[in-house]
Amino acid sequence: MKHHDITIARVYLTESSKALTKMLAYLKTEAKVKGITIFRGIYGYEKNGVEHSASLVDLSLNLPLVVEFFDEPDKITTIIEHLKNMIEAEHIVFWPASVAQ
């Protein structure tokens, strides 16, 4: 089986993050990454201990989000350097992966 090397990156934010809209616009229109998916969490907490959660009684509008995207390794490296100006660097993780061809 043939495969192609890529890098997958994840950015951890909350729904109310001011960087979210700007980041998504950059990833889609400027960087033109191959794919983006946003996962909405039901629970998360920040480094300062502030919790973000959803329950039947309290539907929060500030739930955790994970923005995941992938592309060529060199391209993702450049994108991450750009994103570090918008988002705290420790909220960005990435790893190598392969795509079947």
Q: What is the model's pTM? A: 0.86
Over 80: is that where the pLDDT of 2 sits? Answer: yes
Cα-based torsion angle of the residue sequence 43, 87, 26, 16 in order, rounded to the nearest 10 degrees: 40
Structure confidence at residue 59 (pLDDT):
58
Please calculate the CA angle 15-19-23 and round it to the nearest 5 degrees: 105
- The architecture (CATH level 2) of 3-100 comes to 2-Layer Sandwich (3.30)
Q: pLDDT: is 61 or 80 the higher one?
A: 80
Over 90: is that where the pLDDT of 99 sits? Answer: yes
Of 99, 90, 87, the C-alpha closest to 17 is: 87
Domain spans, the chain: 3-100
Structure confidence at residue 60 (pLDDT):
60
Q: pLDDT tens, 13-66? A: 988 888 999 999 999 999 999 999 999 888 887 778 877 777 655 556 788 999
Structure confidence at residue 37 (pLDDT):
97
Structure confidence at residue 57 (pLDDT):
53
Rounded Cα gap, residues 7 and 75, in angstroms: 9
